């Protein structure tokens, strides 16, 4: 069992699986956001330069908003994502899997000040490693998690079609699933590797080797999947 998933029970009586994001993608997303924030402030600086010292006041106000409120605003209005998070496919959600809203987004972003201590998110990293949901202190207080959105499918993997063959022995559900998953991966493996793997379950393929074992196992997969 992977321990980087989190199960959330919904009112419909099912459990949804969230895939939690660890420190590394989050740090990368943060550095992208930092670059964007610096870029915005630099832009404001260039525009404000012509207003002399009053312009510096505008720059400071912009720096304040960009540093403290912009990330919270983006997370609250943009499906829990900042540009950096979007780039890395991350999103902030409430603990119950619902989209984060203003109070939660603001809580976690204000508390970045303490996660940042003593330098470069030292406390935040330590906290993330100490709890099973990769939460920094801001996430703990806000009741939020950072997850992979994973909206895009990895591409539908098809079981190669061969004549269905019933397995010679009854299979448990786990065994059935293992056979199905191997068959689904057939096209992403080299033929040699797939044949090698297919020869291993001797109760199913007996003494068959290589190509024959592969075809036999695919046939069972087709049978288990209910193909005609």
Partner 1 sequence: MRQAPFEATHTAEWEAFEQFLDGPKKPPFDPAEMPARFRRISQHLALAAERHYSAELVDRLNRLALRGHHALYVNRRRESGQVLDFVLSGFPRLVRQEWRLVAAAALLFFGPLLGLITVLQIYPDFAHYLLSPSQIASYHSMYDPANKRLGMREADTNVLMFGFYIWNNVRIGFQTFAGGMLAGVGSAWFLGANGVIIGAVAGYLVHAGFGETFWSFVAGHSALELTAIVLSGAAGFRLGLAVIAPGNLSRKAALVAAAKPAVRMMYGAALMFFAAAFVEAFWSPLTEIPYNWKIGVGIGAWVVLLAYFLLAGRARAAR
Residues in touch with partner 1 (CB under 8 A): 10, 12-14, 16-18, 52-54, 56-61, 63-64, 68, 79, 95, 97-99, 101-103, 106-107, 110-114, 137, 140-143, 150-151, 153, 156-157, 173-174, 176-177, 180-181, 184, 224-228
- Residue with Cβ nearer partner 1 (152 or 190): 152
Cα 206 to chain centroid distance, Å, stands at: 40
- Residue with Cβ nearer partner 1 (131 or 202): 131
Contacts of 198 by beta carbon, 8 Å cutoff, 6+ apart:
182, 205, 213, 214, 216, 217, 218
CA atoms of 221 and 219, how far apart (whole Å) = 5
- Residue with Cβ nearer partner 1 (15 or 192): 15
The sign of the torsion formed by the CA atoms of 214, 219, 225, 228 equals positive
Number of H helices, E strands in the chain: 12, 4
CA atoms of 68 and 77, how far apart (whole Å) = 15
Least spacing, CB of residue 117 vs partner 1, in Å: 8
Least spacing, CB of residue 12 vs partner 1, in Å: 4
Count CB atoms within 10 A of the CB of residue 5.
11
Closest CA to 183 of 199, 166, 161: 161
Least spacing, CB of residue 207 vs partner 1, in Å: 28
- Residue with Cβ nearer partner 1 (24 or 174): 174
- Residue with Cβ nearer partner 1 (16 or 129): 16
Least spacing, CB of residue 29 vs partner 1, in Å: 20
Least spacing, CB of residue 209 vs partner 1, in Å: 26
- With beta carbons less than 8 A apart as the criterion, state whether 5 and 20 touch: yes
- Residue with Cβ nearer partner 1 (178 or 200): 178
Least spacing, CB of residue 94 vs partner 1, in Å: 9
Residue in the block written with tokens 């970045």 = 112
- With beta carbons less than 8 A apart as the criterion, state whether 223 and 164 touch: yes
């Amino acid at each position: 069992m992977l321990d980087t998933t989190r199960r959330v029970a919904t009112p419909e009586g099912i459990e949804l699986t969230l895939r939690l994001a660890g420190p590394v993608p989050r740090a990368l997303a943060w550095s992208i956001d930092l670059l964007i924030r610096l870029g915005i402030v630099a832009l404001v600086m260039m525009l404000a330069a012509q207003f002399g010292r009053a312009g510096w006041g505008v720059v400071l106000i912009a720096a304040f908003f960009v540093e403290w409120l912009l990330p919270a605003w983006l997370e609250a209005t943009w499906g829990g994502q900042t540009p950096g998070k979007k780039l890395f496919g991350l999103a902030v959600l409430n603990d119950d899997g619902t989209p984060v809203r203003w109070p939660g987004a603001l809580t976690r972003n204000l508390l970045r000040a303490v996660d940042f201590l003593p330098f470069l998110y030292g406390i935040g990293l330590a906290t993330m490693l100490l709890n099973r949901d990769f939460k920094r202190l801001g996430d703990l207080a806000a009741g939020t998690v950072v997850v992979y959105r994973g909206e895009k499918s990895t591409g539908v993997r098809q079981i190669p079609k061969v004549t269905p063959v019933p397995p010679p022995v009854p299979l448990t559900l786990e065994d059935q699933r293992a056979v199905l998953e191997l068959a689904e991966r057939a096209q992403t493996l080299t033929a040699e590797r797939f044949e090698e793997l297919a020869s291993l379950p001797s109760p199913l393929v007996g003494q068959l080797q290589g190509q024959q074992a592969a075809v036999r196992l695919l046939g069972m997969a087709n049978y288990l999947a209910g193909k005609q």
